[in-house]
Amino acid sequence: MQELSHFIDGARVDGTSGRFADVFNPATGEVQARVPLASKAEVDAAVARAAEAQIAWGATNPQRRARVMMAFVQLLNRDMDKLAEALSREHGKTIPDAKGDVQRGLEVIEFCIGAPHLLKGEFTDSAGPGIDMYSMKQPLGVVAGITPFNFPAMIPLWKMGPALACGNAFILKPSERDPSVPLMLAELMKEAGLPDGVLQVVNGDKEAVDAILENETVQAVGFVGSTPIASYIYAKGCAHGKRVQCFGGAKNHMIVMPDADMDQAADALVGAGYGAAGERCMAISVAVPVGDETADRLIEKLVPRIEKLKVGPYTAGDDVDYGPVVTAAAKANIARLVESGIAQGAELVVDGRGFGLQGYEDGFFVGPHLFDRVTKDMDIYKTEIFGPVLSTVRAQSYEEAIGLAMDHEYGNGTAIFTRDGDTARDFASRINIGMVGVNVPIPVPLAYHSFGGWKKSGFGDLNQHGTDAFKFYTRTKTVTARWPSGIKEGGEFNFKQMD
Ligand code: NAD
């Protein structure tokens, strides 16, 4: 069994706490590695070393920092296959999906190559007689990212790229479920020319997270994960005076209008509902057809598509649609919620219970489930299931459909399928959800826009990646400079107006 490590000061370093977590191969159910769980002392030492390393990195000109990003992009492309394999082995997602995970992170690194431009401040020439005024965007110092299991490449890259390009040192606390790829990313950053100590990967659990939140040197924390932990980290991080942004769970609704192309809508729902076994924060977990006739047509199109889905290990080739869920506990939780749906009166149209795969009996596979006639009071509607379970809620009107999405406590993503531009525009304008798709089921914004949910899906006031990330990882200093002669003639004691 492999023993994983931390990545400190440019090298893999063994843990010293004596505590470990098992890392599974979800396809076989076997423990394939164990990862050390850092103690508070280990976190504090990693932060202290990062603070030393940040001084020179922050003073390095932005173009040189951008060149490290440029080299890093090349290395990510070079090692794409290796990264995808390691990712699938620990996460369970298919190889093409794992490559997508790396790719969507890599695109944010590409965006960060523009750091010299993005870090330019504002300048006012002659704000007053002999006075210039300018602002600088300066790094915060040491910042940290705490990331979830479901995108072990993309989300660490979304955090480390902008943080480092802005001149910060970065502490990454990845998910303990799939820590190998984050360690590989740190090695590639070193190979790309990042100085030692500027990027530290500290593996761990709550103890490491609390140590980060309590450490006075850490200036900002970016978190992605489930909503209860997001709200805990937001509150605790803010209480410790840090800048904090936390992205949480989701329950994404896709509204299907009667005029939608029903084949297109069904294809979109199958991909968005079951891809990555539903373990995406932008997965569609609720279909809302408008009108009973639309619902009947949609279900009729969905059922054969869902029954044809191929579930298997990532090693079985590219025609596998989705793999296992991440842990036995996740599998048991999904099964429990499915039973609650049945008990509370939903109609299980496609029954994935009892799904088995010969040779992988101990793997964490879950068959696809489709519920119809789900109602607002059911647990399967209120809870993020994070599995291959799609719920259909029948709405009788567009207003009822948009109201459902608006009333739900989560507000990460949503989509509407329609041929009517007016309905689509109204939906995009009124909906209280952060990311909206029009005939696009998973509207994940590209790297040069920004990503973030509303309501219980996002805490804090800036989004991830895009220009928001450059705001989050820098602070503004504004300088008022006066260079005429004559200042020596006497101090000014009144608050001056610019005239
Ligand atoms: P999680 O909340 O269990 O874990 C996320 C991180 O928090 C991990 O690094 C974990 O070690 C740490 N953590 C877990 N319990 C903790 C505790 N008690 N105290 C302090 N830290 C703790 O989430 P997960 O299961 O890894 O990821 C799935 C969740 O993430 C889903 O809810 C999904 O919707 C969400 N997610 C959201 C986004 C987004 O951008 N909104 C993106 C991806 C995933």
Q: How far apart are CA 88 and CA 313, in angstroms?
A: 9
465 and 431 fall within a common domain: no
Give residue 302 CA to ligand 1 midpoint distance, Å: 30
Residue 211 sits in the same domain as residue 157: yes
pLDDT of residue 258: 98
Give me the CATH number covering residue 354.
Answer: 3.40.309.10
User: Which of 171, 224, 450 to probe ligand 1 with, by most ligand atoms within 8 A of CB?
Assistant: 224
Specify whether 40 is located in the same domain as 111: yes
Residue of 482, 473, 480, 484 lying closest to 165 (CA atoms): 473
pLDDT at res. 492:
67
**Is residue 61 assigned to a domain?**
yes
Cβ–Cβ under 8 Å, residues 322 and 390: no
Total domains, the chain: 2
One domain for residues 157 and 275: no
Atom 39 (ligand 1): residue with closest C-alpha?
A: 247
Q: pLDDT tens digits, the chain, 499 residues: what are they?
A: 899 999 999 999 999 999 999 999 999 999 999 999 999 999 999 999 999 999 999 999 999 999 999 999 999 999 999 999 999 999 999 999 999 999 999 999 999 999 999 999 999 999 998 899 999 999 999 999 999 999 999 999 999 999 999 999 999 999 999 999 999 999 999 999 999 999 999 999 999 999 999 999 999 999 999 999 999 999 999 999 999 999 999 999 999 999 999 999 999 999 999 999 999 999 999 999 999 999 999 999 999 999 999 999 999 988 899 999 999 999 999 999 999 999 999 999 999 999 999 999 999 999 999 999 999 999 999 999 999 999 999 999 999 999 999 999 999 999 999 999 999 999 999 999 999 999 999 999 999 999 999 999 999 999 999 999 999 999 999 999 998 665 556 666 677 666 5
Residue 317, C-beta contacts closer than 8 angstroms, at least 6 positions apart: none
Q: Tell me, what DSSP letter sits at residue 483?
A: -
How does strand 454-455 pair with strand 410-411?
A: antiparallel
Residues 104 and 232 in one domain: yes
Rounded distance from Cα 96 to ligand 1 centre (Å): 23
Which residue's C-alpha comes closest to atom 30 of ligand 1? 225
Find the helix or strand (DSSP H, E) in which 25 lies: strand 20-25
What are the phi and psi torsion angles at 447 (to 5°)? -55, -30
Residue 415 belongs to some domain of the structure: yes
Ligand 1 geometric centre to CA of 95 (Å): 23
What per-residue confidence (pLDDT) applies to 369? 98
pLDDT value for 307: 97
Task: Quote the ligand 1 centre to 155 CA distance (angstroms).
Answer: 11
The finding on whether 453 has its CB within 6 A of some atom of ligand 1 is yes
88 & 164 share domain? yes
Q: Is 149 in the pocket of ligand 1 (CB under 6 A)?
A: yes
Query: Which residue has the CA at smallest separation from atom 26 of ligand 1?
Result: 148
Inside any domain, residue 294: yes
**Is residue 449 a part of any domain in this protein?**
no
CB-based contact 246:219 (threshold 8 Å): no
Query: Does the beta carbon of 38 lie inside 6 Å of ligand 1?
Result: no
Query: Do 240 and 204 fall into the same domain?
Result: yes
Backbone conformation region of residue 170, classed left if phi is above 0, alpha if psi is from -120 to 50, else beta: beta
Scan for tokens 């029009």, then name that residue: 438
The pick from 171, 173, 175 for probing ligand 1's pocket by mutation, whose C-beta has the most ligand atoms within 8 angstroms, reads 175
Q: Report if residue 201 sits inside a domain.
A: yes
- DSSP-assigned letter for residue 247: E
Domain range holding 58?
Answer: 2-248+457-481
Residue 229 CB less than 6 A away from ligand 1: yes
With respect to residue 292, please indicate whether it lies within any of the assigned structural domains: yes
Whether 169 and 218 map to the same domain: the answer is: yes
Note whether 27 and 50 are same-domain residues: yes
Mutate which of 229, 233, 284, 462 for ligand 1? The one with the most ligand atoms within 8 Å of its CB, which is 229
Are 451 and 279 in contact, with CB atoms under 8 Å apart?
Answer: no
Assess contact for 324 and 285: CB atoms under 8 A: no
Taking the centre of ligand 1 as the mean of its atom positions, its distance from the CA of residue 491, in whole angstroms, is: 55
Which numbered atom of ligand 1 lies nearest the CA of 229?
2
User: Which of the residues 112, 166, 246, 281 is marked catalytic?
Assistant: 281
Residues 463 and 419 both lie in one domain:
no
Using alpha carbons only, what angle is made at residue 157 by residues 155 and 162, rounded to the nearest 5 degrees? 115
**Which ligand 1 atom is nearest residue 457's CA?**
41
Would you put residue 289 in left (φ > 0), alpha (ψ -120 to 50) or beta?
A: beta
At residue 486, the pLDDT reads 58
**If you take atom 18 of ligand 1, which residue's CA is the nearest one?**
206
Phi, then psi, of 63 in degrees rounded to 5 = -70, -35
Centre of ligand 1 from the C-alpha of residue 297, in Å: 36
At residue 318, the pLDDT reads: 80
> 3-class secondary structure for 53-69?
HHHHHHHCCHHHHHHHH
Residues 389, 405: Cα–Cα separation, whole Å:
18
Q: What is the CATH number of the domain that holds 60?
A: 3.40.605.10
330 with 395, same domain: the answer is yes
- 226 Cα nearest atom in ligand 1: 32
Instruction: Decide which of 438, 472, 491 is a domain's last residue.
Output: 438
User: Annotated catalytic, 281?
Assistant: yes
